[in-house]
Amino acid sequence: MAKKYVLSGNHFSTRLHEIETGVFVPEIVAFTEPLSSQEGGANLIYKYLRNAGSVEMAVDGDDPVIKFDFVSVGESNIGHINFEILDGTMRNERFAGLAAALTNGILMEVFDTDGTTVLLDFLDGVPIKSNANWTSLTGRDEIQQESAGDDLLPIHFDLIDTGELLNLQDGQIIRVTIQDDLSTLTQFRALVQGHIE
Q: How far is CA 194 from the centre of its chain?
A: 11
Q: What domains are there in the chain, each with its CATH number?
A: 1-36 (no CATH), 43-196 (2.70.9)
- Angle, alpha carbons 130-138-169 (nearest 5°): 105
Give the per-residue pLDDT at 140: 66
Low-confidence stretches of the chain (pLDDT < 50) are 1-38
> Cα separations (Å) of 187 from 52, 55, 86, 140?
17, 10, 5, 21
Express as a percent the part of the chain with pLDDT over 70: 78
Tell me the C-alpha distance between 172 and 70, whole Å.
8
The SS3 assignment for 6 reads strand
Give the per-residue pLDDT at 143: 87
- C-alpha dihedral sign at 75, 81, 85, 90: positive
Give the per-residue pLDDT at 67: 98
